[in-house]
């Protein structure tokens, strides 16, 4: 569950303002046309202090998202990183979720976004385990969504755009109404893409597989982290086209994401995956991932930025 800190601070266009004053006008372009690009990641409470997970990589992805949509952020990436740190510090939360967002603001309401300002904000709040605390061990039941992910050359999947999340909402609502924790979308070619807010991996005969970046997926930072861990553990990882039925016969399937972290999937369309609970590879990857983000193991990959 998320808990807003209503006596906290939000960074907007270069300065911290009280949470309740961080508002925008209803005539802002973003409200009408979904013109926002954003990020989401966690700050973890470690024995060495609060640490932001892959801050620079998230900022880089934000700038890439904005580049695709021809939005110039009026700050350097270093300045933006400093603003994120300033916001986390100001809110005095040891662990939190961080949400930088860049959007077309108040100006004109034609579809053409160029006349409108590029506004930036950074907010933080406390956010528990996205798919439930038990999910990390027990796994979740998911379905294949009847909604597809965006087709190539419609909405660019590599950009983390607010508008893409209308598609995510359709996937998520359908899953919820039908009694599943989450939905997995196929892409326009009928191949496995991703969850509404998570990348997807499967393990089959000791090899780890994940859809390639051309499968209409977000280039997840957790996805990238898991790929690195898999390689470091000496296992095979393949980024490829994945047919739907490969999920059903997999030994293990799991989601990755800043919110979901590494969440095992125990069934897909009510077909039990492997032993119907977290498998050994998923467990191993979780152990390594959580040991690093919780500061229990040396951060040899330089993923953490301490406050
Ligand atoms: C659609 C989608 N795919 C994948 C991810 C996972 O990306 P990351 O690991 O960078 O959080 C997210 C999370 O924001 C997402 O919204």
Number of Cβ within 10 Å of residue 81's Cβ equals: 19
pLDDT at residue number 25 = 98
290 CA distance to ligand 1 middle (Å): 18
Q: According to the model, what pLDDT value does residue 118 have?
A: 98
Mutate to test the pocket of ligand 1, among 36, 198, 221 (most ligand atoms within 8 A of CB): 198
Ligand 1, atom 14: nearest CA belongs to which residue? 197
- Whether residue 1 is predicted with pLDDT greater than 70 in this model: the reply is no
Question: Which residues is 243 bridged to in the sheet?
Answer: 191
Confidence grade of residue 2 (pLDDT, cut at 50, 70, 90) = low
77-116: per-residue pLDDT in tens? 999 999 999 999 999 999 999 999 999 999 999 999 999 9
C-beta contacts of 16-23 below 8 A and 24+ residues apart: 16/86, 16/87, 16/90, 19/123, 22/121, 22/123
100 three-class SS:
strand
Show contacts of 113-118: CB within 8 Å, 24+ apart.
Answer: 113/29, 113/33, 113/35, 113/69, 113/70, 113/71, 114/70, 116/28, 116/29, 116/35, 118/66, 118/71, 118/72, 118/73, 118/74
Per-residue pLDDT, 44: 95
Distance between Cα 107 and ligand 1 center (Å): 31
- On average, the pLDDT of the chain sits at 96
Q: What is the spatial distance between Cα 303 and Cα 179, in angstroms, rounded to a whole number?
A: 36
For the CA of 58, the nearest atom of ligand 1: 10
> Distance, CA 169 to ligand 1 centroid (Å)?
14
At residue 128, the pLDDT reads: 81
Average pLDDT over residues 223-229: 98
* CA 194 to ligand 1: nearest atom: 3
For residue 225, which atom of ligand 1 is closest to its CA?
9
Give the closest residue (by CA) to ligand 1 atom 13: 197
Confidence tier at 212 by pLDDT (50, 70, 90): very high
Beta bridge partners of 12: 15, 121
| Cα distance from N-terminal residue to C-terminal residue, the chain | 24
Burial class (CB in 10 A: 0-12, 13-18, 19+), 69: middle
- Band the pLDDT of 187: cuts 50, 70, 90: very high
Cα of 164 from ligand 1 centre, angstroms:
11
Residue nearest atom 6 in ligand 1 by C-alpha distance: 257
CA of 108 to the centre of ligand 1 (A): 31
- Alpha helices per DSSP H over the chain: 29-33, 55-68, 77-91, 135-138, 164-177, 221-232, 244-249, 280-293
Confidence band of 131 (pLDDT split at 50, 70, 90): confident
Q: What does the pLDDT average to over 251-276?
A: 97
Atom of ligand 1 nearest to the CA of 259: 11
The mean per-residue pLDDT over the stretch 29-49 comes to 96
Q: What residues act catalytically?
A: 160
In whole angstroms, give the CA distance from residue 213 to residue 251: 23
Tens digits of per-residue pLDDT, 66-87?
A: 999 999 999 999 999 999 999 9
Label residue 129 by pLDDT band (50, 70, 90).
confident
Ligand 1 site residues, Cβ closer than 6 angstroms:
40, 168, 194, 197-199, 218, 220-223, 256-258
């Amino acid at each position: 569950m998320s808990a807003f800190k209503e006596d906290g601070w939000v960074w907007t266009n270069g300065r911290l303002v009280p949470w309740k004053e961080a508002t925008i006008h209803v005539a802002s372009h973003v409200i009408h046309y979904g013109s926002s690009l954003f990020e989401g990641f966690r700050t973890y409470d470690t024995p060495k202090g609060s640490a932001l997970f892959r801050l620079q990589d998230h900022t880089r992805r934000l700038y890439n998202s904005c580049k695709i949509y021809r939005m110039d952020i009026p700050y350097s990436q270093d300045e933006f990183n400093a603003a994120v740190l300033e916001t986390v510090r100001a809110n005095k939360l040891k662990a939190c979720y961080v949400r930088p967002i860049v959007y077309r603001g108040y100006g004109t309401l034609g579809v053409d976004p160029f006349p409108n300002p590029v506004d930036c904000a950074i907010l933080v709040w406390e956010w528990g385990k996205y798919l439930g605390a038990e999910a990390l061990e027990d796994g979740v039941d998911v379905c294949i969504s009847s909604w597809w992910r965006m087709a190539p050359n419609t909405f660019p999947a590599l950009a983390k755009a607010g508008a893409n999340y209308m598609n995510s909402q359709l996937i998520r609502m359908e899953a919820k109404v039908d009694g599943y924790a989450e939905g997995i979308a196929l892409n326009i070619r009928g191949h496995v893409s991703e969850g509404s807010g998570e990348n997807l991996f499967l393990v089959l005969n000791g090899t780890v597989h994940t859809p390639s970046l051309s499968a209409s997926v977000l280039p997840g930072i957790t996805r990238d982290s898991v790929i690195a861990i898999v390689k470091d553990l000496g296992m095979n990882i393949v980024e490829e086209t994945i047919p739907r039925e490969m999920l059903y016969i997999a030994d293990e399937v799991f989601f990755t994401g800043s919110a979901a972290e590494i969440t095992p999937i125990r069934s897909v369309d009510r077909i039990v995956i492997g032993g119907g609970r977290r498998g050994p590879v998923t467990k191993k990857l979780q152990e390594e991932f959580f040991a690093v983000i919780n500061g229990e193991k040396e951060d040899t990959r330089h993923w953490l930025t301490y406050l």
